């Protein structure tokens, strides 16, 4: 079975971070989101994968993942020239998929459940598709499915009046008949070919589509608060004692803290769960729970918690604590302490500041 990961979205809800990187490459617990997706697929037994990318982010993905061999996978890249929808991305990948059944995953969805059993069931049963579902409080923001005896009888994209609380979580298993379905649907009001319409076509024409409702945690990491929640969830699973850096005797470490090689911590309090990357310098600072600090980050005389700090950011001499924040690569935040007191910013488009 082959795999297909869709990563061509522009990530508008995560701007300005996504002006310079793809949303699927933003780190959670110091690993790009896409690595969790690939790990999920590998655990399901799928290692021959194509990633659908946009022309703008193709180079970033190739530089980050290369051919996948260093983590036991084979990765190819397919460029979707324009964002014409999930079904369109699937259709332009048909040469790679080569009439084989395939696992389709949206690259910004995190699913922490072993679906190897679902994959085996799909391979052994005479069904044309499988979709993963999860029960949600407000399904209006999702594709929604109605299921009877494990079989999908109706699907609808973002309905105003949902007929069930079962949201489609962005993980699908298909046979090649899905291409025939895509050929027989029309673009939605958004101008996109919707995968829910293709699934609906299969259901209407009498093809068999089954559903599996996941019990574990999952998250669409499309917004800053989603990334921070995912970061907290993953940090809750880190182990004790992974320290390759230098911690001086005036520093206090509490809880589960991982420190990368080459990092130096002086006169600080680190309260886990926390991960700190390589070659960081933390001086006279407080790093609180659920914080991920990338590589070559410098913190001095400041406090931060429940946040993600990306590579090469520098924060110093702040009188207040940074909380629930996403700090991009190379960001500088400081307070000079001189009179007259004033705030000075150089802020890009669509940035968000709360003081």
Under the banding of pLDDT at 50, 70 and 90, the label for residue 125 is confident
Two structure tokens written together for 327 = 């700090």
Segment 287-302, tens digit of pLDDT:
999 999 999 999 999 9
CA distances, 300 to each of 50, 165, 249 (Å): 43, 48, 17
Within a 10 A sphere around the Cβ of 278, how many other Cβ atoms? 17
User: What are φ and ψ of residue 104, in 5° steps?
Assistant: -110, 130
Q: What is the pLDDT of residue 201?
A: 93
Name the DSSP letter for residue 204.
H
Residue showing tokens 């082959």: 2
The pLDDT score that the predictor gives to residue 51 is: 95
pLDDT tens, 134-161? Answer: 888 888 888 888 888 888 989 888 888 8
C-alpha 51/C-alpha 75 separation (Å) is 7
Residue for token digits 């922490």?
112
Q: What is the pLDDT of residue 162?
A: 84
Angle between helices 33-43 and 58-65 (to 10 degrees): 60
Q: What's the CA gap between 253 and 245, in Å, rounded? A: 13
Token pair for 113: 């459940």
Chosen CATH of 2-234 out of 3.90.550.10, 3.40.50.2300, 3.60.20.10, 1.10.8.60: 3.90.550.10
Q: Output phi, psi for 31, to 5 deg.
A: -130, 135
For the domain made up of 240-334, give the CATH fold. Answer: UDP N-Acetylglucosamine Acyltransferase; domain 1 (2.160.10)
Q: Quick one: tokens of 211? A: 């559903």
* SS3 of the chain: helix, strand, coil, percent, to 5: 25, 30, 45
H helices present in the chain, as ranges? 33-43, 58-65, 86-91, 94-97, 116-124, 177-183, 195-204, 224-235
Lowest-confidence region among 97-101, 245-249, 283-287, 348-352:
348-352
The whole-angstrom separation of Cα 177 and Cα 207 is 9
Spans of all domains in the chain:
2-234, 240-334
Decide whether 2-234 matches 240-334 in CATH topology. Answer: no
Q: What is the pLDDT of residues 304-319, one digit of tens each?
A: 999 999 999 999 988 8
């Amino acid at each position: 079975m082959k795999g297909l990961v869709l990563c061509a979205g522009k990530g508008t809800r995560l701007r300005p971070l996504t002006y310079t990187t793809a949303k699927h490459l933003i780190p959670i617990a110091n690993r790009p989101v896409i690595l969790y997706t690939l790990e999920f697929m590998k655990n399901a037994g799928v290692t021959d994968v194509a990633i659908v990318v946009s022309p703008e982010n193709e180079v970033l993905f190739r530089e980050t993942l290369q051919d996948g061999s260093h983590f036991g996978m084979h990765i190819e890249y397919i460029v979707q020239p324009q964002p014409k929808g999930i079904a369109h991305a699937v259709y332009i990948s048909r040469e790679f998929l080569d009439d084989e059944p395939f696992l389709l995953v949206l690259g910004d969805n995190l699913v922490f459940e072993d679906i190897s059993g679902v994959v085996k069931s799909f391979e052994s049963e005479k069904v044309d598709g499988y979709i993963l579902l999860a029960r949600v409080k407000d399904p209006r923001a999702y594709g929604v499915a109605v299921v009877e005896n494990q079989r999908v009888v109706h699907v609808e994209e973002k309905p105003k009046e949902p007929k069930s609380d079962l949201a489609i979580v962005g993980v699908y298993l298909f046979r090649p008949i899905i291409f025939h379905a895509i050929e027989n649907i029309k673009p939605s009001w958004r101008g996109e070919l919707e995968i829910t319409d293709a699934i609906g076509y299969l259901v209407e024409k009498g093809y068999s589509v089954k559903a599996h409702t996941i019990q574990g945690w999952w998250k669409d990491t499309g917004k800053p608060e989603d990334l921070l929640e995912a970061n907290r969830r993953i940090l809750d699973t880190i182990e004790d004692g992974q320290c390759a850096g230098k911690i001086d005797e005036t520093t206090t470490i509490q809880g589960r803290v991982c420190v990368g090689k080459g990092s130096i911590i002086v006169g600080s309090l680190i309260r886990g769960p926390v991960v700190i990357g390589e070659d960081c310098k933390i001086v006279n600072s407080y790093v609180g729970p659920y914080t991920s600090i990338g590589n070559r980050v410098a913190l001095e005389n400041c406090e931060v918690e429940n946040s993600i700090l990306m590579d090469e950011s520098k924060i110093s001499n702040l009188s207040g604590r940074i909380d629930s924040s996403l700090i991009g690569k190379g960001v500088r935040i400081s307070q000079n302490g001189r009179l007259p007191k004033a705030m000075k910013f150089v802020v890009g488009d669509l940035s968000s500041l709360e003081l």
